[in-house]
């Protein structure tokens, strides 16, 4: 199960963003947007800012998150614009691919699971991408010092290089490691890979 402490951490953040109508793409979503193709699945969509932009660009989107308020708000926004977004609330810890999509996105999700679950879901993401399709995955990695959003009982900081190695048999379109300052002079260190399946 996804840690309740992690869900609560983001629920508070999302509630504030909803109240302030703060719906802007983060840098990783901005990098991903130009690579979207066909039918899109966004796992751990949060407020769904990327899903909204994908649907506005003509993509049929399935968006899934564990935070009830975020899912409800995304459903409201999608309906208000008449966008083709199917919004689902679900714990993604043990998510398994039951179909394929042209693009599968998991930005800022996998680090909130125990490492075994994270790696299992990562393999499912690879399975869920149709031939010629795109995976866009972003995780926190070792070197991250900002830990307030994690439940000590369930999280995973990936080793540097693991995410890129996971997609070594695909065509890597983008591979990046980036540090962002966090409260208390701490660091969030992210690895991002956007890759195309053969």
184: left (phi over 0), alpha (psi -120 to 50) or beta: left
pLDDT in tens, 123-151: 999 999 999 999 999 999 999 999 988 88
Closest CA to 81 of 40, 51, 45, 121: 51
Query: How far apart are the C-alpha atoms of 132 and 1, rounded to whole Å?
Result: 32
Residue range 39-51: average pLDDT?
A: 96
Query: How far apart are the C-alpha atoms of 52 and 157, rounded to whole Å?
Result: 28
Query: How far apart are the C-alpha atoms of 71 and 88, rounded to whole Å?
Result: 7
| Residue-level pLDDT at 194 | 98
Q: Contact at 8 Å (CB) between 141 and 159?
A: yes
| Residue-level pLDDT at 153 | 78
Domains of the chain (ranges plus CATH)? 4-196 (3.40.50.150)
pLDDT in tens, 148-188: 888 887 899 999 999 999 999 999 999 999 999 999 999 99
Query: At residue 10, does pLDDT exceed 90?
Result: no
CB neighbour list of residue 57: distance below 8 Å, 6 or more residues apart: 33, 36
Query: At residue 1, does pLDDT exceed 50?
Result: no
With bands split at pLDDT 50, 70 and 90, how would you rate the model's confidence at 93? very high
pLDDT in tens, 46-88: 999 999 999 999 999 999 999 889 999 999 999 999 999 999 9
With bands split at pLDDT 50, 70 and 90, how would you rate the model's confidence at 23? confident
pTM score > 0.75 for this model? Answer: yes
């Amino acid at each position: 199960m996804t840690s309740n402490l992690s869900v609560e951490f983001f629920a508070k953040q999302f509630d504030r963003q909803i109240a302030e109508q703060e719906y802007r793409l983060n840098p990783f979503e901005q990098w991903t947007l130009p690579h979207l193709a066909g039918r899109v699945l966004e796992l751990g969509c949060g407020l769904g800012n990327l899903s909204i932009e994908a649907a506005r660009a003509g993509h049929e989107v399935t968006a899934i998150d564990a935070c009830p308020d975020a899912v409800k708000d995304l459903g409201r926004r999608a309906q208000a614009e008449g966008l083709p977004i199917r919004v689902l609330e679900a714990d993604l810890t043990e998510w398994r691919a039951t179909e394929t999509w042209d693009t599968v996105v998991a930005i800022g999700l996998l680090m909130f699971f125990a490492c075994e679950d994270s790696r299992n879901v990562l393999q499912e993401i690879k399975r869920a991408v149709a031939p010629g399709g795109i995976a866009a995955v972003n995780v926190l990695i070792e070197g991250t010092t900002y830990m307030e959003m994690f439940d000590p009982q369930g999280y995973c900081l990936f080793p540097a290089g693991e995410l890129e190695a996971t997609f070594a048999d695909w065509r890597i379109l983008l591979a990046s490691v980036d540090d962002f300052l966090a409260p208390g002079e701490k660091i969030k260190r992210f690895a991002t890979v956007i890759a195309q399946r053969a």
